[in-house]
Structure 1
Amino acid sequence: MKRIVILGGGTGGTLAANRLSRDFGDGARITVVDRDDHHVYQPGLLFVPFGTAGGGDLVRSRPRQLADGTGYHRSEVECVDIDADRVHLADGTVLRYDALVIATGARLRPEKTAGLTGPGWRSHVDTFYDLDGAVGLASALAAFDGGRLVVDVMGLPVKCPVAPLEFCLLADWFFTVRGVREGVELTYVTPLGAAFDEPVAARTLAELLAAKNIELVTGFATGFVDGTGGRLVSADGREVGFDQAVVVPLHAGASYVDRSPGLGDERGFVRADEHTLRADVKDNIFVIGDAAALPAAKTASVTHFEGEVLARNVGQFLDGRPLDASFDGHTTCFVESGFGKALLLDFNYETGPLPGHFPAEAGLPLLKESRLNHLGKLVSSWFYWHHLLPGRDLPGMSSDAACGQAVPGTGRTLSTGFFPPRLSGPRAWRPVEAAQREEWE
């Protein structure tokens, strides 16, 4: 019986496990490893500060998302012995494998930016990229009646690179609904030379920021955060003042990667072939999702499209056959812009986001705000739990150029994004009930 070990029980690890379980049946022993039992729907964190999603709504039990028969081991990973094909866990367990899947995502490293975790951290300097920060920002924004709110991306790569832009656009909506928008100055700070790293989309998004009176500061690499004085200081000495800072900290791979010689790059991400998803370090190691050092975006949609390729290629490897599935970098996402509208972006390794419609001229508009795109986004949370994580195939949702209808003018096809619903209006955060947490245990 083949032994498949999957490190990480988040989006990539869960959908990979479920696809492999379906493909192999009783022919493989699949074990998923993670440090805790709380699967967080990370795209939903963006909406918690604005009261349109509750923290408790985003969390479910990790093993309950796995197919029957899949093993789940709760422990930190100590290291991977690449030569011996073994994973050493912090609880002393040693797992042998025939194929290893790295799916441990990206972690936040706020301590890597000078001053960020000093005075003001978790009060008037915070992030929505983890659950505690998102919940804390809900209280902070509810009490924010005027001043300068700055959204700052500390460096790249980051999970969901459009999310900080979405935060600015939703903040415009949120403060307008509260009737205090005229007294709030919104600023978006990025190390990029434009609002986004794809030229056509960058122009569209910059125009949208300008139309909503949101200042755009580009080429700003934050080197120091002065929480006491309310200042962001760039590496070249420029400064941006703030009353409330919403930051996207530097990202890195999981810490065990650093303790596993040869497994990762200098930031702890795992290098792999961008098409087959096989790790550079050894033929029986594969990587999926945010843990990968690939030129693709770190988003749930990318992970979804990677899942089919990874499962196919792991199976081919274990059967002793050449890898024949190829990932093309396909990324699709809805960009919520507030007031019941959203944009739709679709791109891959070869082609950036372009205007047009899907699936025909009367379909969903690309790179343009619309109510239709917003409605498409409303189903995303349900889709995540019931289709993406189980690893189910749907028409038009294949990794093979989405296997759907052609997008006019692009030579490609389009799929659906995977972002949260319920942008109807602010509501109170509901914590996860203690009884529910005990039940998970």
Structure 2
Amino acid sequence: MNRRRLGIAAAGIVVAGLAIAAAIMYKPAIAPIAPPAPDSFDAQLKREGARVVALGDCIVCHTAKDGQPFAGGLPLATPFGTIYATNITPDPQTGIGAWSEAAFARAVRHGISRDGHLLYPAFPYVHFTRMSDHDIAAAYAYLMSREPVQASAPANQLIFPLNFRPPVAFWNLLFLRSGPREADASQDAQWNRGKLLVDGLGHCASCHSPLNAIGGEKAGHAFDGGVVDGWEAPPLNALGSAAKPWTKEQLVTYLRTGRASEHGAAAGPMLPVTRDLATVPMEDVEAIATYILSLQKGAPREAAPAVRVAAREPTPAEQRGAVFFNASCAQCHGTGSPMQTIGERPALAFSTAINANTPRNAVQMILNGITWHGADTMNYMPAFAGVYDDRQIADLVAYIRGAYSAGPAWPDAEPLVSQLRKEDSAR
């Protein structure tokens, strides 16, 4: 009898568990609509939407290389496989043309598509959920006024069981806290605006924080730094302890132009972010800088000298790297070079990449450079992936670290160069 009762109880628990799981996973579809005409939206609302979409970096993630703006298809590398960004133009078949504003708001706030399927958290709805109703409406008006593009994203390539969407519901239980947040009455309006943009629309923590084993931002480590598309997103809470501590003016300039004369130039995934921020009002970027600088840990340190005088004999790798540096880098980055004094190229001793704990970003910068962007020649750097082999780039990195940073020597970078070269070519 006891066994029977236990069996019945166990079965009841299983049934209840399945019912709860089904309730968590099931999300109803929202009926499709006919695509609204662009002129049906208020012109001012669309202008505000352009600002919201730029602050959210939507075009960065939803535009494939050489693709149409917002048409999706960009591969997003994750520890669990590749996710392809979707089409968010108002095409009714492959985009969001059949989405009502309510369906759009549900996706932004809760990570649920119009047809009810769960979106993967590579789409940062855990941050976008903090957006105001007005900002969501403005973004909707702007996106629905873009040129429709018929383009289907490739199928995602994820490991089992994450290639099935229902487990995302349990992920949401752990990491999604839906809805806007109250302002902090103890802080001024600029700080609160900055917090809203950094934690919400800008979703800065999603790149600049380490992830845990299931892809959520690691608790207690917000803004401690992360890795995105093979690049290191440096810790935003350590700007005050940089080789030369960041000032608010420098951070604002960097965010709007992609260049800080005493720290370096934006590259990799950060470069297009700065190009978006160049289009938004100055007060938004100033608010972002104010909030980020309030996150700093530890006391600021004294600035490093422009060039470190080595206290030891250079290694063979550094000696070889010096030859490559003089051949390819010194004309821009050498001490007293015209490009440094006139062109505002930063002294490498202050470079975030050169003073980082790993050579990852230094390697990526040498491999990929910074692409030409119209008249913005100040941010250009040629790529050397086709000029030097893995060993030569590792030697060059070793020389730059030894000559310009007071930090300890990096381990031999050749294996990392080989790995990053393969990963970059696959993107």
TM-score tier (shorter): under 0.3
Rg bigger for which structure?
Answer: 2
TM-score (norm 1): 0.24
Select the structure that is richer in strand: 1
TM-score, with structure 2 as normaliser = 0.25
* Greater fraction of residues in helix: 2
